[in-house]
Amino acid sequence: MFRFKTIIVFLLLLSFISCDQIKSTKIIRLGHGLNTGHSVHQGMIFFGEKLQEISGGKFKVQIYPSQQLGTERQCLELLQIGSLDMTKVSAGVLENFSPSIKVFGIPYLFRDKEHAFRVLDGPVGEELLNGTEKYWLKGLGYYDSGSRSFYTIDKPIEHPNDLKGLKIRVMESQTAIDMVKSFGGSPTPISWGELYTALQQGVVDGAENNPPSFYLSRHYEVCKYYIIDEHTVLPDVVLMSTHFWNDLSNQDQEWIQKAMDLSVVEQRRLWLKSEIESLEAVKAAGVKVSYPNKSNFAEISSSVSDQYAQDPLIKSFIDKIKNTQ
């Protein structure tokens, strides 16, 4: 709590400093939790460059990576009170603020990556983004974060039953908790920044994430088994505080959205390259990468979809996603 209050004071000071800067330049403060080598961070740099170019220098984006301004949840809370302008969070964290986003946490909902992109870039994805505005969060776009898979310290996972009794780190996400429970595992929410130490000290037996995050976090130094079961496709969502967005002119909003749309294309290109390189790197480091029969995982975790389909709101989005061709 003390650290969170310190962050708010720091951001208030930054806002005063920004006011003293050249009046023709508006500073956008963007905080996120990933390191500077991640394709998401590179996508944000691209966004800032494009926005500065499109706006003729009216906007400048200041990026604070690696949880400098707090966890993903804390960054969302800062957006809600107007103390931070932009952030990027996993859909798994955003579901705590915008309930309809829970649909992304349902295992094996998307048929393949192309299906996921058609949903995200189409009317369903737009509807889900627009649904965040009532929570003081303006959705701007989806960055690619691939598919999430399990990795463990010293026990290979070839079948869902192998997860029984294992303590698996998850985000602060109820859908992720329910997904791990469906496999018989013990879901353990831990901050991303604290996970390496938790793995090293045996607080948890493993975790689940995409290849670039597994590699760039250096979790492969502790976890020697990576099973590509691809249980969920959780996009990263880029958001702006409605306190900031609503004060902009229509022209300003158009510039920001255009720069974001361009950065989405660039980030997805960078992601694909990073995903391939990350898998090669962890294999070279001695990690055993395996590809199980995903149908076994899909069958057992289908109970999660059944559970969330009891909610009419989530059921409507499940149907819309399944019907997207």
The CATH number assigned to the domain holding 53 equals 3.40.190.170
User: Domain for residue 103, yes or no?
Assistant: no
From the CB of residue 288, how many other CB atoms can be counted at a distance below 10 Å?
A: 11
One domain for residues 211 and 240:
no
> Is 124 contained in some domain?
no
Domain assignment present for 55: yes
From CA 288, how far away is CA 221, in angstroms rounded? 12
CA separation for the pair 183, 164 (Å, rounded):
6
Residues in the chain: 325
pLDDT digits (tens, 9 = 90+) for 187-218: 999 999 999 999 999 999 999 999 999 999 99
Which pLDDT band, with edges at 50, 70 and 90, does 8 fall under?
low
Give the predicted TM-score (pTM) of the model.
0.90
On whether the CB atoms of residues 216 and 278 are closer than 8 A, the answer is yes
Kindly state the helix (H) or strand (E) to which residue 208 belongs, with its residue range: strand 206-209
Instruction: Summarize pLDDT for 43-67 with one digit per residue, the tens.
Output: 999 999 999 999 999 999 999 999 9
3-class SS at 186? strand
Paired tokens of 99: 């309930």
Tell me the β-bridge partners of 62: 29
Regarding whether 249 and 159 lie in a shared domain, the answer is no
108 part of a folded domain: no
Query: 204: domain range?
Result: 148-233+281-322
Considering the domain architecture, whether residues 162 and 211 belong to the same structural domain is answered as: yes
Q: Is 278 helix (H, G, I), strand (E, B) or coil?
A: helix
Same domain, 178 and 306: yes
138-164 residue pLDDT tens:
999 999 999 999 999 999 999 999 999
User: What integer best gives the mean pLDDT of the chain?
Assistant: 94
Based on the structure, what is the number of domains in the chain? 2
